[in-house]
Chain A
Amino acid sequence: MNNDIPILRLEGIVKTFPGVRALDGVSFNVLPGEVHALMGENGAGKSTLMKVLGGIHQPDEGRILIAEEPVVMTSPIQAKAKGVVFIHQELSLADELSVAENIFLGELPRKTFGRVDWTRLYAETDAILKTLNVGFNARTRVGDLSIANQQMVEIARALTVDPRAVIFDEPTASLTDAEKVVLFDVIADLKTRGVGIIYISHRMEEIFKITDRISVLRDGEYRGTLVTAETDEDKVTQAMIGRSLDLTRSPLQHEMGDIALEVRGLECGALYQDVSFSVRKGEVVGFYGLVGAGRTEIAETIFGLRAPSAGKILINGQEVRIGSPIEAIRLGISLVPEDRKGQGLVLGMNCRDNMTLPQVDDMTAGPFLANGAEVAIFDQYRDKLDIRTPGWRQQVGNLSGGNQQKIVIGKWLSMHPEVLIVDEPTRGIDVGSKSEIHNLIRELAAQGYAVIVISSEMPEVLHVSDRIVAMHNGRITREFTSDEVTEDSLIQAISGIASDKVA
């Protein structure tokens, strides 16, 4: 393999934005038939690098070579024409259009007068879909597909041309295990066809499963390339964040109190049915399941954002009706939502205002806002959660993902809730911040909060939970204590396999 000419080679790429050196001399190469992982914390420069590769940004210095030929790319379509294809992390689909139109977006086959050649379009799309072994066809409206199937559409985009290099940006974020297998098959197939693959992911287990080499970026700088077979997670982590991480389960053990929250037979239409569980003070309950299993919807119901069609919610043994987030907050329930930017934060507002938003009514002196009280709260939780920001006036949109998430958590901690629900607390957050947040969750439980953690990442659930609730298709399939849980049994429970046996 080493004798091969690199299919894609980057040489000393530098890209600066006003005031920031986003990429600083990045060089690495991808060989034909290689899966090359690109790792780095958020903000390390991965996405900038991808935009440079995709022709969205032009590098200030350095060269890009495809098959040892220097190229200048000015648009994604040009990159694709040169055989460099992107699979975007955030779903980049037009959901009113058909699967075929999405897969061939930007390059619909034409007839005369700019007409779309529908026959060819559908034929080619169906051929691609066949290799992916999916249950929908070219004419399906993308908006009618599940998230996972939409991800498959995204992946299918790579297969419209004969690619020389494919860049996968967090492709598994919303895939089921079965779908992951299909994806990995696709990658393996591309590999055998001599395609070079850049694979971006935060998930170590995947990286070690499918990649050949790992290149690491830190603060825009290239930190070297490791051969996967010769390294381990710790070394990669060290390269990424400059130190080791303690990945073992937090030893912090503590007494548990009374039941803070209990749910009996809760149901919300077709979203989930017959959900019963309870959380004690000082306990972390993990909810594990696939996207669409109904976990987030349960959290939203408890937080007053959805009206349950049946069942009861009890807080400290008292049955309550929760009609809105305001009532939920009054009852001491807090929700750190799944979509941080869409649901958690007002990105255009500053750090302090975001943090004090739920209690802004109480932060007054006379009719006016009490500036001092607000700043005091911000300072307190900035110190407590170690939020790194130049000051409270900083717009939240300018912070890193980890710090943004801490603002959201700080927002709720400052309300002194009894029940804290965190939904995908570390989605899109880099490894370093991830473990900080995990430790924080454990600490909060130790202080007597009842915590629910919803996550799609098994290591996360295993790491933070005292008890794990597995869900499949809108129902709870099984509950595990942290002692009895194994990865296999958990996977079975969320795939619905074990549900018959256990239930």
Chain B
Amino acid sequence: MSQQYPALLVIVPLLSAFAISIAGWVNKRLCFPIIVTALSVVVYASIGLLLTVLEKGVVIYHLGGWPPPVGIAYYVDHLNGLVLVVVASVALLNVIAAKKSIEQEFPDKAGPFYTLYILMVTGLLGIVVTGDAFNLYVLLEIAALTGYGLLAMGEERAPLSTLNYLYMGTIGACFYLLGVGYLYIVTGSLNMVDIARLLPPLYQSRAVLAAFIICMVGVWLKMAFFPLHAWLPNAYTHATSAASSLIAPLVTKVMVYVMIRLILTIFTPEFVFATLALKNVVVWLAVIAIVMGAILALAERNLKRMLTFIIVAEVGYMVGGAWLGNRAGMTGAILHIANDALMTLCVFLVVGNIVYKVKGYAFENLQGLFRKMPFTMGAFVVGAMSIIGVPPTCGFFSKWYLILGALQAGHYGFMAALIFSSLVSVVLFFRIFEICYYEPFSDHHGHDHPPEPMDEAPLTMVVPLLIVAVILILVGLYTVDIVNHIIKFAIPEGLV
């Protein structure tokens, strides 16, 4: 069975999606067990796959038995092995945590919701696992369409913001498709490794340059890289908590993965960093992204929206790290994919719990939450520390590698931007802690505190959250292993 893991990763959730959508019409109570089992299988398969990769090296799976480039092949190396595990486990933890709020927010449409949910996971897993440039586009669209569906089911403004997301997302996907078309017209192939083999003689061709830039712009649109980020905050803010806590951690990170895959596998680092003169331009764009994201987040008076701007800044981290063009920076970017997915999940689950109990996420809704929901807020503190970058939470360690990369590349602007955004996040989060802790406060020594009774979210929501919080610290402590055993091999030797 183990050689079928790559197929299982996508097939199991796909088939279970159909099962769920049928069960939604027959017997609603079946939906949740099915989705949980399916996702558990996926987690199991992804971990198994990663172990196989660590043990035997790259795993290649020929779909339909056709060897590439004739057929479509799955291509799993250390890079996407890691991302697969992250995606799968985030999806599983989140669906367990989101059960209550899904039932609360749309009791009658739970079945379709779960179907979209797991289809989205299928799409994301497919994007990560595939080795075929066009297949990636199809799965991109699956992830996008399900995402529109999930996001649009939110507040009354959700459809409008989702429609804007749809416009931008479609342009992005189409740009990617066009880029693939350019590659196809010059190479005649669609398989990533095969294209990489055919490209070197064509590095000077305008068409290849155009293909690269168009693909990049498309992917940047999808990952909300700063000038192209306009769709993200509204779309994520107005979505239901169950949807946003799936999409916010995963979609942008998977897009960053696609970008790194484009840089490392299809257009090799030699081309991207040596032939093109874009390196510094993009890193400076990332600097702007980080700074603007931080500043815009400062302007928000609403927790969820503030977090979305933090995501914009974090995207800047990863793009910048990947484009520094040295090993440390790339390591930081890849590590940050995993870490950022986890910490974003953590804080968005917290928002979910708060919305479930308090029915709101504006700052004034947060008063006295430390007494009301101690466990949720405890996890929130861990997540915040991770975003600020305080050891031993994992956020610190990816930031470490990013800064190291900036130093080695001699790019002090990027380093300064990272430091700056950490400082800003300190302000952001302690502003919130003050509200949650000290308000409603009274002016003489706060003696007459109305002691709110503890009113914590249900166990199924709190336990996964605490698990995530613990993972944040464990990942931090085991960073060196992740780097030495996985990421080291994910980056080609050529990149020093």
Q: Do A and B come from one complex?
A: no
Interface residues of chain B, those whose CB is within 8 Å of chain A, are: none
